[in-house]
């Protein structure tokens, strides 16, 4: 499984989640070139170890376990994965 970042991150992008991820699988981080141009952050599904550490850190409740993504945001599972296929 993986965790997924959904729509509420858009426009917030405070990167609280980046700081707590033990495997650095949330990008783009503020230090990376893409950070300014991407609307939100994304979790790499191949690297995420499902630890759940990021979920409670998000101030806008944008992070969900893949099997708990609300119906209106299920498309974000693919959107997160697609960022890493570019
Ligand atoms: S669940 Fe854990 S490994 Fe996956 S993105 Fe969140 S903090 Fe990183
Ligand atoms: S903590 Fe939430 S709002 Fe902040 S960057 Fe991570 S997913 Fe986006």
Domains of the chain, by residue range, sit at 3-83
Distance 12 CA to ligand 2 centre (A): 7
Site to substitute for ligand 2 among 2, 3, 4, 5, most atoms within 8 A of C-beta: 5
Digit-by-digit pLDDT tens for the chain (86 residues) are 999 999 999 999 999 999 999 999 999 999 999 999 999 999 999 999 999 999 999 999 999 999 999 999 999 999 999 999 98
Fold of 3-83: Alpha-Beta Plaits (3.30.70)
Q: How many CB atoms lie within 10 A of CB 57?
A: 15
- Identify the DSSP state of 53: -
Is any ligand 2 atom within 6 A of the Cβ of residue 4? no
Q: What is the pLDDT of residue 83?
A: 98
Q: What is the pLDDT of residue 86?
A: 84
Residues 12-37 as b or e (16 or more Cβ within 10 Å = b): ebebbbbeebeeebbbbeeeeeeeee
Q: What is the pLDDT of residue 28?
A: 98
Rounded-to-integer distance, Cα 58 and Cα 10, Å? 12
């Amino acid at each position: 499984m993986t965790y997924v970042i959904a729509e509420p991150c858009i426009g917030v992008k405070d990167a609280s989640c980046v700081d707590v991820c033990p495997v650095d699988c949330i990008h783009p981080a503020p230090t990376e070139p893409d950070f300014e141009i991407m609307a939100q952050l994304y979790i790499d599904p191949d690297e995420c170890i499902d630890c759940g550490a990021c979920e409670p850190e998000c101030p806008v409740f944008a992070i969900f376990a893949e099997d708990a993504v609300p119906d209106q945001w299920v498309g974000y599972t693919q959107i997160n994965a697609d960022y890493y296929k570019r």
